[in-house]
Amino acid sequence: MGETPWRPEDAPRLDGRVAVVTGANSGIGFQAARLLAHLGAHTVLACRSPERGERALERLRAQTPGAKAELALLDLADLASVRAFAEDPPAERIDILVNNAGVMALPYRTTADGFEMQFGTNHLGHFALTGLLLPRLLAARAPRVVTVSSELHRIGHTRFTVDGGPDRYRRWDAYAGSKLANLLFSGELHRRAEREGGALLSAAAHPGMAGTDLAAAGPSLEGRPRLGSLLAGAAGTIGHSDLGGALPTVRAAVDPDVRGGAYVGPRGFFGLRGAPRFCRPSTAARDHAAAARLWTLSEEATGVVYTWP
């Protein structure tokens, strides 16, 4: 007998808890934030753009009457912004941190700190954010960190570099590498928390293929918005909606059956769509030595060292 499909109706209430979702202005980030708010969590939409963030907050409140939600500005491509967010956090205690924000297959760009944009935003920004928020997380009774990866992590490699330069840049290789880094980080965070003997639970999720604006960003930056719209439409047709793509993240964030190191993704059609289930990441994503090397590189790049009580 197979695993019983998980539904949002199966989720426990989150009244009195605080959830922070990065990149919550659209797509699966917005839907994850909306569902967490619907379950009663005080939900913080951590967004880069104040205009898009305000629109998302208004939309969330309209769709979820009585929701406790607020907007906080956060640019993961700028470590100064990450530090400012952590120095003036929206709450003294954070129960759930969803590392969702990301960019995909962009033309070559660098972050404010000179890192290649996909690795810098998708991995280093979240590594720094989680480390700087660690005291707030450890103040919670049962804190959870959920890091959103992708099945494209399976073609990623562990030759990580903060910036190989434009001549060596391959956008899909960079994206796959950043998503592999997400999983290595999530697993290493779980092992370090376990060694410290605390209650922090680190898990990962992937949305499958969802019809969001993420696929459109790269072509749009190159002046090809029509191609971007076509890619986003195709993703929604082959895969599922942004709501369907958010369910693995939400399950990883709230399901009592989730254990540290878990990886949650869609159960159907080659993992592209369907109800969320527990799945197995690639062998490379389970390489403890590579995860430890990545952790050291990330500390050196960001200047953030995790401090446990």
Give the span between the Cα atoms of 235 and 210, in whole angstroms.
Answer: 6
Give the span between the Cα atoms of 43 and 17, in whole angstroms.
Answer: 9
Q: What is the DSSP string of 28-60?
A: HHHHHHHHHHHTT-EEEEEES-HHHHHHHHHHH
Residue type for position 293: R
Alpha-carbon distance values, 70 to 8, 209, 296 (Å): 22, 28, 34
Q: Which of 108, 169, 175, 263 is catalytic?
A: 175
Reduced to 3 DSSP states, what percent helix, strand and coil does the chain have, rounded to the nearest 5? Answer: 50, 15, 35
DSSP 8-state class, residue 283: T
Work out the number of other CB atoms within 10 angstroms of the CB of residue 37: 24
Q: Is 108 a catalytic residue?
A: no
Catalytic positions? 175
